[in-house]
Amino acid sequence: MSDEPIPGWVEVTFTDADGHVWSVFDKPPVFANMDDLTRDSPFPVAVELDCEILSVDRRPDQTLVTISTITPWGVSADDGRSTFTVLAEQLRYGDQPG
């Protein structure tokens, strides 16, 4: 987490359903309440990123969900990608675990 410019930037990584690790960069409020993510936080820290569900693929052994990270914060990976397929258990729906 960088302190310049204030309030700083943070790199967040996540793994998609195919096992590819993606990195996204943005300001801490995009990923967490500012009280939960500070320069003194013990890293790594589990965070959340709001996203839009584009489709759901229910299979006998797993459920795959295609999401867009553009809505609502405009977040994308280094290469500009903003659509990812993840496992349903990686998501939270409102206040309930996914």
HEC states along the chain? Answer: CECCCCCCEEEEEEECCCCCEEEEEECHHHHCCCCCCCCCCCCCCCCCCCCEEEEEEECCCCEEEEEECCCCCCCCECCCCCEEEEEHHHCEECCEEC
Q: What is the pTM of this model?
A: 0.81
Q: What is the pLDDT of residue 1?
A: 53
Q: What is the pLDDT of residue 33?
A: 67
Quick one: average pLDDT of 75-89? 96
